[in-house]
Structure 1
Amino acid sequence: MSSEDLKLILTVFTYGPHQSRAEIELRPSIPKSARGNPAKINAWLQGMSLTMAADFKEYSISYLDLGPVDKPARESKYNVASWTHLAQPRAVFYIHHLCAAGNNRCHNIIKLQDAKMSTIAGGGSRNPHEELLAMMGSLSTDEDEVPEGGFPLASSCANCNDEKTGKKGFKLFRCGSCKLTRYCCPGCQKQDWARHKKTCKIVESVKWVNWPTKA
């Protein structure tokens, strides 16, 4: 790969209920002004993650599988492992769709996962999916009181975020090019194109693991 076209190897794992996840490979071009400077690459990566957040929304019945009571996910927690000092920079996003990020089981799971990230990033003996399942099994399954509202459903339309578009039974369609981002109607897709095209053109592949229905 020439220095004129240095790309970041970016892998995204976005987790849903019942051990389901999407594995997404993206290859964004690193800005020339950031190349060779890990701090600048990390800052660029952080900004890009905010731009792409709507593209990683999933799971209308977006729940973390923690017990008998499932709750709809409305917030997302990002963990990032990066190796931007390498000649071929790499990064991994671990995205967890949560009912809420406050003091509850979801929050405690992510706190535990945060503590494990250095081991995972450093080449620990277990893969990140096994780590997550082990953490979930170690927590209490007492029901949490998590208020609904405030944030849109994690599975609602990427553009309008209308509550009804994230409800069970509402049919969303995916972008025909990247096969990832979901919309409620062609109008929303058109309105979102100025933002989405930046993600759409860098998606290399999307793999659905333990998906409950056809993606």
Structure 2
Amino acid sequence: MAYLELLVIVYGSCSRDPNDDDRFGPEQRRVEITLNPTFPDNAKTIVQRHKWLQGFLLRIAKDMKHNRNWRCEFCTKHARETNWMNTSWMHLPQPRVHCYVHSVCNAVTGPCSEQLRLASAEISRLTGMPPAELPQIPSKKGEKFPMSSSCAVCHNEADESRKNLKQCAKCELTRYCSVDCQRADWTRHKECCKTVKEVKWHWN
């Protein structure tokens, strides 16, 4: 069966990081996740595989968001959104995709969204592809997206809950506040969990 070499790199920061450009560079805080999902039998062509990949990334997005106590990549606020920038080599005998996930406080407005646009322009320069359009995420007035540092299921933002989250023992990624929440999420989480091959943390 054909499989995909998928590398997902999640960027963010923590409260100890300097609030200037020193937080970036080779040692920038991040986690690198290698996954090897298998293409379904009906995904034979490049177009079909890209369509399947879009759905797969949407299904594992929660796992990539709720795996650490992420602060915004560009400031000291708690991260609430993730923005994905992807590069792919589906035409190769062994298809390969790299995903760069930016944990941010606000991907739509403000200075951190401008930093995202600069990151998108840099990806465009490196790949020769047009810059990706940043999504305009819909939300109700006054509504906030869940903190990345909260439980992947109940999103409890209380300090007591967030300080006691436990990672899935198998994939060492997705975090939960209780066994009940982990069990409730297993039907969804297992697709990601079973395809994770390696996790490398850069969290000094």
- TM-score above 0.5: yes
In the TM superposition, what whole-angstrom CA distance separates every residue of 1:95-114 from its partner, at most 9, and x where no partner exists? 01110112212111111111
1:154–1:166 CA contact under 8 A, matched in 2: no
TM alignment of 1:1-215, pairs within 5 A: 5-17=1-13, 18=17, 19-35=28-44, 37-57=45-65, 58-66=67-75, 70-121=76-127, 150-164=144-158, 170-209=163-202, 211-212=203-204
Inter-partner Cα distance in structure 2 for 1:166 and 1:23: 28
In the TM superposition, what whole-angstrom CA distance separates every residue of 1:124-178 from its partner, at most 9, and x where no partner exists? xxxxxxxxxxxxxxxxxxxxxxx985111012111112222697x6211111111
Number of aligned residues? 178
1:165–1:184 CA contact under 8 A, matched in 2: no
In structure 2, the gaps of 5 or more residues are 18-27, 129-140
| C-alpha RMSD of the superposition | 2.1
Inter-partner Cα distance in structure 2 for 1:118 and 1:60: 29
Q: Tell me which amino acid in the other structure corresponds to 1:14.
A: V
Distance 1:177 1:148, change over 3 A: farther
Q: Equivalent pairs: percent with the same residue?
A: 40
